Amino acid sequence: MPRLLPDDVLQRCQNRPFPPSLPGEPDPLPARCQAECVLNETGILVNHQFLIEQAIKVLHQQVPNSTLVWKNVFEVAARKCYNSQVEEPFYLGDVAKNQISSQCIPSSLQFLECMFTIVYRDCPDAYWNVTNDRCSVVSVLNNCPYLFLHYNESECRQVLTGFNFQECCKMPRLLPRDVLQRCQNLSLPPSLPGEPDPLPTLCQAECVLNETGILVNHQFLLEQAIKVLLQQVPSGIILWKHAIEKTARKCYKSQVIDRFYLADVAKNRISSQCIPSSLNFLECMFRIAYRDCPDVHWNFNNDRCSVASILTRCRYLFVHVHEI
């Protein structure tokens, strides 16, 4: 995979002093300041305005020999990450409540991390090392549906052979197995005239939330979600209870409160049935809970898990190899 940004810019921004703390505010976070510096240095951020076309231009300049397949992956990822991480200024409430610094706001870092995540996930087949056993766990994490694994799907069957995600992290199941089974066998609603067909995984996820009482008359009940999720944690495992509750609140905020999909419904890009927020919430739950797997539940002795550690536990752009 090509580097996303010029090395000299990353180096300068890693060594740049952070702005002083403002009275009464939390300290600005180093990684956010470094990311904001990178976007300023490359002209992607100008007077706090994010220029998406400039971002695509900068990213394309990193692609060796202007390889078309990588340029396409970079542009698709940039537009997705701009829509999800920059256009929605979700962090303003946290600034107003004095929960985070008004300096070095999160969107720059989240755009860059989102870029890495999507580009890595969408690595073209020609550039993916299918012969390396350690990459199988990456394929599972990046390419297979987390909650509705169909073992007869060719793209997942191969990478799942001999691998279970619990091989690296002894993580509780997030939802009752019987509910998942019922919803996997759910009949899809009929298509509405003039709309795209509803997507099976979106409908399955919505079914799960309906069945567990998390979704009632299209209203998402966060406290019920936390209750259902915590019921899956074996008694006495406080670390997981804390991690799962924290994750649920994060995913509710990022995937449910911000109804980013409404524009797609209005433009007839997606069906008005089985909207994405249910699946996005559940996938977000898995990703963050897996990423934040407590050390006591992580298998550090398994060589295949080292790649998973890099993908799920380390900063993508500012990894200091001397840090433990």
> How many Å apart are CA 298 and CA 43, to the nearest integer?
40
Give me the mean pLDDT over the 84-102 stretch: 67
Per the listing, tokens 């996005």 go with 280
> What pLDDT digit, counting tens, does each position of 8-17 carry?
998 899 888 8
CA-wise closest residue to 35 among 309, 316, 254: 316
Q: What is the pLDDT of residue 99?
A: 66
Q: 51-65, 125-139, 300-314 — which is least confidently predicted?
A: 300-314
pLDDT at position 269 over 50: yes
> What pLDDT digit, counting tens, does each position of 133-154 carry?
666 555 555 554 433 333 334 4
Is the domain spanning 153-186+196-322 CATH 3.40.50.1970? The answer is no
Q: Is 188 left (phi over 0), alpha (psi -120 to 50) or beta?
A: beta
Tokens of 219: 């209203």
* Phi, psi dihedrals of residue 219, rounded to the nearest 5°: -100, 125
Helices (H), the chain: 7-14, 30-41, 52-61, 68-81, 92-96, 107-121, 135-143, 154-160, 177-184, 200-211, 222-231, 238-251, 262-266, 277-291, 305-313
Give me the residue spans of the domains in the chain.
Answer: 7-127, 153-186+196-322
Give me the mean pLDDT over the 270-294 stretch: 80
Give me the mean pLDDT over the 243-265 stretch: 78
> What pLDDT digit, counting tens, does each position of 156-203 carry?
444 444 556 677 788 888 888 888 888 888 888 887 887 777 888 888
Kindly give, in sequence order, each residue whose CB lies less than 8 Å from that of residue 137, ignoring residues fewer than 6 positions away. 163, 165, 167, 168, 304, 305, 307, 308
CA-wise closest residue to 167 among 279, 293, 285, 283: 293
